[in-house]
Structure 1
Amino acid sequence: MKKNLENFLAWLLHKTCLHCRIVILLFLGLTGLSIWILSTQFKVINDTNALIRKDSPIHKYYLEYRKEFGVAEDYVVVIHGDDPEENKKAALEVGKKLRELAPLVQNVRDRLDLSKLETHLLLYLSIDDLKKIDSEIDGYVKALKEQPEIKLDLNTVLNQANEKFQESYLRKHENWKEFIPFIDRFISILNQLADQLEQKPNYQVKVQKSSLQLQDKDMSNLKVEDIRSILEDHEFLSFEDGKLVLVTASPGKGASDGQKRTETIKKIRQIIADIGMEYPSLSIGLTGEPVLEDDQLQESSKDSLNSALLAFSLVSFLFFISYREILRPAIGLIVLAMALCWSLAFPMVTIGHLNIISEAFVAMVIGMGIDFSIQFMSRYEEEISGGKTILEALKTTSKHTGAAIFTGGCTTAIAFFTMCFNDFIGLQEFGIVAGFGILFCLLSSLTLLPAMYFWIDSKIGLNRIRQSTIKTTWTTPQWFNTVLFFSPRGTLTLASLATVFFAFMIPKVGFDYNLLNLQNQNLDCVQRELELLNSPSRGMISALSVANNEEEAKKRAKAFEALPSVAEVRTLTTIFPEQQEEKLQIIRNIVDKLKDVPLDSSKKEVNADRLKKDIDDLLQKSEEGYKTAQKFVAIAPQAKEAVDIFSKLIPALSRIQKQMNKLPKTELNKRLSRAQFEIFGTMESGLLWLRSQDTSRGVTKDDLPKEVLERFLSPHGKILIEIIPKENVWERKADVQFVNDIRKVDPKVTGTPVQNYEYIELLRKSYTEAAQWAFVAIVILIVLRFQNLLYSILALFPLVLAAIWTLGWMGFFSIPFNPANIITLPLAIGAGVAYGIYTVDRYSEDGNAQLFSTSTGKAILVSGLTAVIGFASLLISSYQGLYSLGLVMTIAISFCLITSLIILPQVFYLMSNKKKKDNELTIDLPAEETLANK
């Protein structure tokens, strides 16, 4: 088989040189066609859905959701500022401008119109709060009904209090049922009056807001203005007491990926920039999964192009410097460029696009594809300088080095093709594109390259070619080999110790599942996403469940809310108040009580003298009552309750008395009037508001904003449930816990947390399996190539050693694998094994352990450095995924070079010495026997 391969390559070379012009024209035509295809059909996609098998259950669930609701993940505009009102104004401006982008965006959610809920707002209180309100208004209702001419004001309330503090009233136990609710409210009124007289700022009610969640908010003690303020706050998606406001919008139909998505994001960013000029004190930015994906695509595409240009430039420079001439290296680079054109056009014809994974193959193919041209050119120059003709030199090169190139190229291509044996479409596409890219480079190096050498060198003439090759062919001086082989056993011992050390480091290598860590951390969208993750909003990432009806949605929502890893659940049923029928009965009772009560919220005058007298009397009664009650605390429970009441009353009354005695009459009247309006004007307006509540029905879908219905209700009546995680599910541990929990409620749950949970693990598993298949395939190829067990093991020896060192190095420096650099597992195997093959192939040919005394050592070094350059060029990437890939592959290829050019030759050196000793022994023995016989 080895002989047949060598003879086939020699025959192919002969035919190629014989028809060199036809071969060159044929490949030029193919290159022209490729350039035309690239100019008309070139496309790179970053749609995660296109990287996954269509029949994947997880993918099917997600596609069903998108089809049912017609939306994708949202754009999220983040507005941060210290002034909540200014934040809201900016949010309204953003929403207005986003709507003008239709049809590129849809379902803009800036301010939700919750006005229809105001007449049903009491339904969002708990039953206990409603009962408290019902009990509190009894005293006011009773007084206003019994004495319609009396209005709610400071004088009236103080008069009522003095009457209730009569000993005859308090001694009757049944009166305390009415007295306790009255006194709680009365103490609150006194403290408000004291604050007004002291001119303390009004107490600002702070309610933790969350989008569309009004239940269980304590509104029983709030003014009507406060209640309306809370309703207005819930009209915005706001957090941190209004300091963080979000505006969301869904991509329009047909604008969720590709160029339209990129165009949409640019327009949204321009809107944000313009509005940011109007509100310089606010921080406004854009994030969301479509933005993260698109920025990732733009960053990786830009970095891939820059890396490819840098790699090609550096490889060209190294090529010219190493061979100290222009012509033949230039021909090698031209052949490489033509092969790259074929490689890029191939996926446009077969697949239709590159994806965010497969686009990285360009820099890799440059680094590894030039390897074949270097090996071929180096051997060709060696044979020419040794005295052979152009055709003889090409045949010898093709027969021997060509066979090694063929084996090395096939092993590298197979390493890529093994990536096709998995369920991850994105990885399959990468395997196909990169595998054929290597084969195209291999084909061009074994056909087009020798054809161009034969055609051009024949015109130049053999003598001139030989003179130039003698100048460019270089080998290392003898002292280098002396140093290199100073102590083969010592070098192998050091290598063994390094291997043992790195082997102990391998278990420390982890896997980073967090996709945000692959992004450029300086991108605004990444920083905004991290800002949201660290805020009460917990980011906009959520799992999604689709229920068939309201009853199913309500049941599921309650089950999701009970899970320890769930922070919040959003759906239609969580917007509807709970226990509506039971609450309606209490609300009807409240409204009925207030129906015939005369209410007037107009401003009334305060009788300051009478008020001062009532305060003095009440303070005196309270102090006396406190002293009397203290005497009976030990024997009467009611006395203890009286002590508690008086201990709250006395400080408030004392404050009022002190201020009234201190203030001039004019100022006192002004402050008392203001206090009365603040306390009782709003109180009466509150009673009026309570009376205005709709008791005919509960909250229905007709009361909800259009944007909410569009978000949570599909045209077919299905209901969406958003499940918000409690922890950061970009991190694997939190994601696993969250997905495992929610799947107990709904096995068909979908969304980004679920997709990350499934697909990143699938990606990791696929690359691991690809590496195993690559190694098996490479072993088979190497055995077939050398047909010698020892040589096959030695060809694999540098690769195995380099793999252990690379993994150990990663463990020692705490560099984890991630969804981007995990590709190095099969890739390093395919790329790194070639150097071992070249080394063993040359040793098996001439038995010379000193590789650098031949062209092979130089060729392996230069080709290895070009591969290192190809991958090291990725280190300029701001996209951390490409950076980590470039870092790991640079180290892996460097270790492969060290083990192939330094460690493996030590083994050859020892083998050569042993062979010499054996030969000397077999030569000397017959001579000794002859002498003995004589």
Structure 2
Amino acid sequence: GSVAEVGPGIVTAAVTTALAFGCASLTEFRGVAELGWIAGGGIVVCAMVTLTVIPALVRLTDARLMPVEFTVGLLGERWRHRVAESPGPVLIVSVLVVALAGSSLVEWRDGRWEWLVRYDDNLLNLQADDLESVRVQARVANDPDGGALFAVSLCESLEQAEQVAVRMEALPTVGRATHLGRFLPGADSQTLLDRLPAPLVSRYHSRQGDWLVQVVPRKSLWDQEPLEQFVTEVRGVDPEATGTPLQNFEAGRQIKRSYQVAAVVAVGAIIVVLLSVSLGLLKALAMLAVGGLVVGFSIEAAWREQLGNHPELWAAAFVVTTSAAALILDPRAVRDTFFALLPPLVGGLVMLGGMQWLEVPLNPANLIVLPLVLGIGVDDGVHVLHDFRSRSGRYVMSPSTIHGVLLTSLTSMVGFGTLMIASHRGLSSLGLVLLLGVGSCLLVALVPLPAVLNLVSRSVRSRGHDVNG
């Protein structure tokens, strides 16, 4: 009986959380894709164990014990009834807090709103402050005669190498460009090459006859703006140029875009799953069929008109179409989906506001919070919504739901929060941001969401009395 009662909520939460992680596997960056497979698969395995192994263990160990209703502490008991008795004031205070957090994310400048959340690409800022290697790297990066990061251009002849070097040195972002030929005085360069050590020559002159031009930047390239300018100018001279700066530039963009795409796709997939669960089998199939047909015809028309392939646009169109179909089939399904998404969406907003107040930027290490907070927040929302559906009359959150949401969130906060003690600033920021994100989702699930559901339950009961009257 207990599994039948809590099973649907566990399955829905597991599917949505696994989707939040699993959508990362659709990205181009291999590391992020592998993370999606591992985390999403792990969630599925945990759900299977929860529904099979744990009930069997409870049956074996607690078969002779009388079931006892969960109790909450005095503060929790007062709080859940206070929310149920005064949902309006609770909701007003919650909206003010969210508005305060949101106000720190944007600013009105020069006649338009400007997004203030900063993304820090500098990988040196992720390292520990006291590392000698970091201090040396920072010193070398600004040395015009050195430079640990440099671009590379391959030329077919010594003459071409000299021409490319001259053009590179004319660029504002380039400090110097050099090749092996500049260190070989006289006309008989081949004789001098034969006398030099082979390991040294092979760095700048290949057996196939290619000459390497080393392009050293004028400024440090660890920050995004000078890096992007340097890469753009170097590629303007040689589109085939390579080297660590160009690799860092492409990898940084790919990581950032991968997490962004994973988060957006996960939101769409979770919306479709929640709508399907709320509608039931037949209506869900009808909704998916409508969305599939509309998007399918759109893709076919775009292909016929040679408008190009836009997978993100098609995915967004599918979510919008299925949502519109669900709104026609059963408006309550759309309402319930919105309620389940409140913790991750509002909690994510509060998390970003907290990051602004603490002056913690997004970076390649903590950007993973986007799918993580989405998955954990949806989990909280699904459990509260399942509790709402299982209760009649004026909604008051059950003690078991409070315990479940509190324990899962607090254990996650403790687990992630321990990363804050790491000397690696990237891991430390990841722990702090996840602590903020999971905590924000927890507060939304326990404060404004029950207040909203209480108002909804009062409205439904009021309409029921009107109809019966």
Q: How does 1:479-558 map to 2 (within 5 A)?
A: 479-485=78-84, 487-506=86-105, 507-558=115-166
Local SS of the residue matching 1:568: strand
CA distance in 2, matches of 1:738, 1:783: 48
CA distance in 2, matches of 1:791, 1:433: 30
Local SS of the residue matching 1:846: coil
CA distance in 1, matches of 2:345, 2:270: 12
Q: One-letter code of the match for 1:540?
A: A
- Structure 2 match to 1:899: 444
How far does the alpha carbon of each residue in 1:384-417 deviate from its partner, in whole angstroms, 9 at most, with x for none? Answer: xxxxxxxxxxxx2222211111111111111111
- CA change 1:397–1:568 in 2 (3 A) is same
- Structure 2 match to 1:569: 177
Contact 1:576/1:699, CA 8 A, preserved across alignment: no
Local SS of the residue matching 1:417: helix
CA distance in 2, matches of 1:780, 1:921: 34
Q: How does 1:242-391 map to 2 (within 5 A)?
A: none
Q: How does 1:61-210 map to 2 (within 5 A)?
A: none
Local SS of the residue matching 1:822: coil
- CA change 1:720–1:907 in 2 (3 A) is same
Contact 1:565/1:725, CA 8 A, preserved across alignment: yes
Q: One-letter code of the match for 1:737?
A: Q
- Whether 2:219 is the aligned partner of 1:727: answer yes
Q: How does 1:657-736 map to 2 (within 5 A)?
A: 700-702=192-194, 704=196, 706-736=198-228
Which is higher, the Rg of structure 1 or of structure 2? Answer: 1
- Structure 2 match to 1:820: 365
Q: 1:421 aligns with which of 18, 23, 26?
A: 26
Contact 1:415/1:771, CA 8 A, preserved across alignment: yes
CA distance in 1, matches of 2:171, 2:72: 71
CA distance in 2, matches of 1:857, 1:825: 25
Deviation at 1:740, TM superposition (A): 0.6
CA distance in 2, matches of 1:481, 1:732: 48
Q: One-letter code of the match for 2:94?
A: A
Contact 1:835/1:860, CA 8 A, preserved across alignment: yes
- Structure 2 match to 1:430: 35
CA distance in 1, matches of 2:459, 2:237: 71
Local SS of the residue matching 1:864: helix
CA distance in 1, matches of 2:15, 2:423: 33
Deviation at 1:540, TM superposition (A): 1.4
Deviation at 1:884, TM superposition (A): 1.6
- Whether 2:395 is the aligned partner of 1:849: answer yes
How far does the alpha carbon of each residue in 1:872-910 deviate from its partner, in whole angstroms, 9 at most, with x for none? Answer: 122122222222222111111111000011111111222
Q: One-letter code of the match for 2:174?
A: V
CA distance in 2, matches of 1:798, 1:697: 70
- Structure 1 match to 2:6: 401
How many residues end up aligned between the 2 structures? Answer: 404
How far does the alpha carbon of each residue in 1:540-580 deviate from its partner, in whole angstroms, 9 at most, with x for none? Answer: 11111222221221221111111111112231122234xx5
Q: One-letter code of the match for 1:505?
A: S
**Which stretch shifts more, 751-760 or 552-561?**
552-561
Local SS of the residue matching 1:712: coil
How far does the alpha carbon of each residue in 1:704-751 deviate from its partner, in whole angstroms, 9 at most, with x for none? Answer: 455531321223222222111111101111101111111112111111
Contact 1:508/1:814, CA 8 A, preserved across alignment: no
- Structure 1 match to 2:282: none
- Structure 1 match to 2:312: none
Contact 1:538/1:728, CA 8 A, preserved across alignment: no
Q: 2:273 aligns with which of 781, 795, 798?
A: 781
How far does the alpha carbon of each residue in 1:143-183 deviate from its partner, in whole angstroms, 9 at most, with x for none? Answer: xxxxxxxxxxxxxxxxxxxxxxxxxxxxxxxxxxxxxxxxx
- Whether 2:70 is the aligned partner of 1:473: answer yes
Q: How does 1:17-56 map to 2 (within 5 A)?
A: none
- Whether 2:247 is the aligned partner of 1:755: answer yes
Deviation at 1:835, TM superposition (A): 0.4
Local SS of the residue matching 2:118: coil
Q: One-letter code of the match for 2:89?
A: G
Contact 2:255/2:364, CA 8 A, preserved across alignment: yes
- Whether 2:233 is the aligned partner of 1:741: answer yes
**Which stretch shifts more, 413-422 or 787-796?**
787-796
CA distance in 1, matches of 2:339, 2:190: 81
Contact 2:83/2:90, CA 8 A, preserved across alignment: no
- Structure 1 runs of 4+ aligned residues shifted over 6 Å read 696-699
- Structure 1 match to 2:417: 872
Deviation at 1:769, TM superposition (A): 0.9
Deviation at 1:832, TM superposition (A): 0.9
Q: One-letter code of the match for 1:859?
A: G
Local SS of the residue matching 1:821: coil
CA distance in 1, matches of 2:354, 2:410: 20
Contact 1:409/1:442, CA 8 A, preserved across alignment: yes
- Whether 2:362 is the aligned partner of 1:765: answer no
Contact 1:560/1:723, CA 8 A, preserved across alignment: yes
TM-score between the two structures when normalised by the length of structure 1: 0.41
- Structure 2 match to 1:790: 335
Q: One-letter code of the match for 1:816?
A: P
How far does the alpha carbon of each residue in 1:197-252 deviate from its partner, in whole angstroms, 9 at most, with x for none? Answer: xxxxxxxxxxxxxxxxxxxxxxxxxxxxxxxxxxxxxxxxxxxxxxxxxxxxxxxx
CA distance in 2, matches of 1:898, 1:504: 19
CA distance in 2, matches of 1:742, 1:919: 71
Where structure 2 has 5 or more consecutive residues not aligned to the other structure, the ranges are 106-114, 280-332
CA distance in 2, matches of 1:540, 1:412: 42
- CA change 1:747–1:698 in 2 (3 A) is closer
- Whether 2:356 is the aligned partner of 1:811: answer yes
CA distance in 2, matches of 1:815, 1:426: 24
Contact 1:550/1:573, CA 8 A, preserved across alignment: yes
CA distance in 2, matches of 1:698, 1:716: 14
- CA change 1:537–1:441 in 2 (3 A) is farther
Percent identity over the alignment is: 31
- CA change 1:863–1:774 in 2 (3 A) is same
CA distance in 1, matches of 2:102, 2:454: 26
CA distance in 1, matches of 2:127, 2:8: 42
CA distance in 2, matches of 1:872, 1:826: 17
Cα RMSD (Å): 2.3
CA distance in 1, matches of 2:50, 2:41: 14
Q: One-letter code of the match for 1:526?
A: V
Local SS of the residue matching 1:722: strand
CA distance in 1, matches of 2:144, 2:161: 25
Local SS of the residue matching 2:88: helix
- Structure 2 match to 1:590: none
